[in-house]
Structure 1
């Protein structure tokens, strides 16, 4: 029993790092004790970090580097215990083999046991590989220290990641709150605009009502006056009809002539229909188009115009994002086409073109073989030039001619292309093009009019890579590639 108590006491005086009796023990805030040499190494590693802290190897509680103090009383007890062990031999029992009484100096790697030299020679560990116990213990200590260092670094990394996540959470909360306030502000502004439009329409209707009712009241007054005149005239004529022939012939006043020529003057009355009837805009459709355009703009791809095989009648800007035509005398050329620098063969792609101030252009996509040259071709008539803008020749395009005439060049069974006249509510200043390989479509959007759909080519089949196609035509204004509008 006394031996067990001494063993427990020795465990309490053992450093958890070096597993030896404490030397110059230092106490931590959590109550555990370590050797001064062991804790100094730990503090030096912790000082390298940003927090200037370390943690207890027993319980993991963090403590600042300055929160350490020398435990003199414990140091005296440990020193007395060490002297008692040397004097009485306490503690030596476990250092000797229980079977042979020899000192334990070897370690059997196969059985993972500490043995004496007689254990090795007795045949209890035949063919086993043995090492000196001190060497194995040193290696174990080194592995233990390395594991402690690694775990402490992992703990520091975990704490850093925890702090980063907390910062991310705060940042996301701030962004969400800011976006929520912005959405509420913008919708409040829309409500104010709708309220103002409602008041304006109601005011216009009230003005029309007042003006119409005033005209009707004036017309009614005029009819009342004429009705009074007619009554007086009828009364006078009824009185004269009772006269004798002599009295009637002797009083030939103007009343007779006036009664013959008097006619009713019909007043001007306003139309029975309102001058203008208010029609509320289809906000649901506008919002739907807005959301669809936002989804489409997520596939925006950045590219430039291709200067390879550039036609002589075209001039590119230095950044290859703008093209404009120039006249070439004495040749009359109708092919002003140029391709994008990037081709597509899958997925979804979107780009926008600024066509402000242009009176003619053609935009879309072109499918061609990579080896085919895209150079200048001359033509004598516009009809022949238009005939090639059709899907069977690899063109899915729309265009503008004569400043106000918008067309889509679709496919027909005849030689002439099917030129569809497009109805555009607001003149185009910026066009968005969405190429969808999955659906086999090419869609054109009027960015000027909240991203409303202009036209869509359906069931498109591409046997070769597809290039963005741009044709500034003979209008001197430039055609410019630009990022998506906000």
Structure 2
């Protein structure tokens, strides 16, 4: 049935002239279709014989200009060609290319479908051969298993790709953040340099105004003195020209007046004595900025440990500590854990301070503390001292916050102090509201930086001897304003 339909369709799209499937079919006035080349040749032949052009099928006359493309027939021809190609290919695939016999067997060694003649050939002699219908299920399962493995690997590849993409995004964000930090740091440095330049230029202008004003005043005074001298000289020259009687009149007063005249020398400003701009100060500022950038690479997440002092309260996020005169509840909670250390009857309670974690036993570490608004505070690093040191503290005259007692700290209470063996009063350029603390355990260094608008080194402990682990130390003193550990910003 299907073949009959195809045969009818083929007849409909066959050129009546060349008897092949139509190529670029054209329809004439009567409705019949021909290949473009065939009907054109037919028309030219008729004209050459001086005959009227007529349809080769029905003999109805037609004009060449009335020929029109038949897209419907062209589409049918295209489909017929596809069916023909698929049919030929199917026949080729089902028959042996060498012997023309039907492919009914499968050679397991070669993994090929073969015909019965191939099975008996030298090429496949001794091989294990099976009927296709017997072996197909086995290999279908193998192919399905292989497909499943490939799909699993493809799924894994998708996950790996997603992971890589996520990592790429993470790296981009991290590098973008670092780029922004670099730009912010250098902008900060430029701001510092610009501010320093303006300060120096302003000081220079003020000095210039003061010097020039003083010198102008000295100049005016010299002009006045010169005028007085000129008057005296003119008076004396005139008197010397007069007769003796007139010359001697009030001569003693004249001589006295001229001899007692003192020429006031102008105020000078020796260049050696004036303080000029020192590039060393700028170099020190840049070095501090570089040291701070280095320190910030080792920023650690510091949190506060519980306190056994009822007047010391810690925030829920363990990043803020404050002193209160009474027990308080709410956003802050009181903690009662006792972390005091016992040494021969002497209780060490960190002097109303509080420790941070993690503990430090090696490496470089950095954190920042906001002390803005506080009228008193102490911060830095604490490490439990040895027993001998504690005895010295208990019975000696040492300050409790000295390094000998395990404290490397600075503080503020009416004045800025570095708690060395002999306390040192510090004079920062501007009062620091945020302080960066940097410790290099192996190098024995604890540094304190002001990290507000004016970046500068507040103080540095060198050659520190840490007995064992040390901790960040925070003491809010008796000031109710909080001390806050800053969030990591680099």
**Gaps in structure 1 of 5+ consecutive residues:** 1-69, 98-102, 373-380, 410-416
Instruction: Give SS of 1:387's match.
Output: coil
**Which residue number corresponds to residue 418 of structure 2?**
407
**Which residue number corresponds to residue 51 of structure 1?**
none
**Which residue number corresponds to residue 462 of structure 2?**
458
Distance across 2 between alignment mates of 1:349 and 1:223: 70
Partners of 2:378 and 2:411 within 8 A in 1: yes
Instruction: Give SS of 1:289's match.
Output: helix
After superposing the two structures, state which structure 1 stretch, 130-139 or 176-185, moved more.
176-185
RMSD between aligned alpha carbons? Answer: 5.3
Is the alpha carbon distance of 1:342 and 1:421 closer, same or farther for their aligned partners in structure 2, counting shifts above 3 Å?
same
Number of residue pairs the alignment of both structures matches? 376
Distance across 2 between alignment mates of 1:185 and 1:405: 29
Is the alpha carbon distance of 1:314 and 1:445 closer, same or farther for their aligned partners in structure 2, counting shifts above 3 Å?
same
Is the alpha carbon distance of 1:284 and 1:387 closer, same or farther for their aligned partners in structure 2, counting shifts above 3 Å?
closer
**Which residue number corresponds to residue 403 of structure 2?**
391
Distance across 1 between alignment mates of 2:450 and 2:196: 24
**Which residue number corresponds to residue 366 of structure 1?**
382
Scaled by the length of structure 1, the TM-score of the pair is 0.58
* Residues 366-423 of structure 1, C-alpha deviations (whole Å, 9 max, x = no match): 2239xx9xxxxxxxx999785343334332223334x1241232xxxxxxx4434445
Distance across 2 between alignment mates of 1:355 and 1:173: 31
The alpha carbon displacement at 1:484 in A equals 5.3
Distance across 1 between alignment mates of 2:147 and 2:241: 139
**Which residue number corresponds to residue 264 of structure 1?**
261
Is the alpha carbon distance of 1:447 and 1:222 closer, same or farther for their aligned partners in structure 2, counting shifts above 3 Å?
same
After superposing the two structures, state which structure 1 stretch, 289-298 or 357-366, moved more.
357-366
1:139-178 aligned at under 5 Å gives the runs: 139=141, 141-142=143-144
The alpha carbon displacement at 1:146 in A equals 5.2
The alpha carbon displacement at 1:424 in A equals 3.2
Pair 1:76 & 2:84 matched: yes
Pair 1:311 & 2:309 matched: yes
Instruction: Give SS of 1:433's match.
Output: strand
Q: Structure 1 residue aligned with 2:136, among 105, 109, 134? A: 134
**Which residue number corresponds to residue 228 of structure 2?**
226
Pair 1:478 & 2:482 matched: yes
**Which residue number corresponds to residue 356 of structure 2?**
340
Partners of 1:365 and 1:469 within 8 A in 2: yes
Distance across 2 between alignment mates of 1:78 and 1:443: 84
**Which residue number corresponds to residue 277 of structure 2?**
279
Partners of 2:96 and 2:102 within 8 A in 1: no
Q: Which of the pair has more CA radius of gyration?
A: 2
Distance across 2 between alignment mates of 1:421 and 1:298: 30
Scaled by the length of structure 2, the TM-score of the pair is 0.58
The alpha carbon displacement at 1:163 in A equals 9.2
Instruction: Give SS of 2:261's match.
Output: coil
Is the alpha carbon distance of 1:165 and 1:444 closer, same or farther for their aligned partners in structure 2, counting shifts above 3 Å?
closer
Is the alpha carbon distance of 1:177 and 1:75 closer, same or farther for their aligned partners in structure 2, counting shifts above 3 Å?
farther
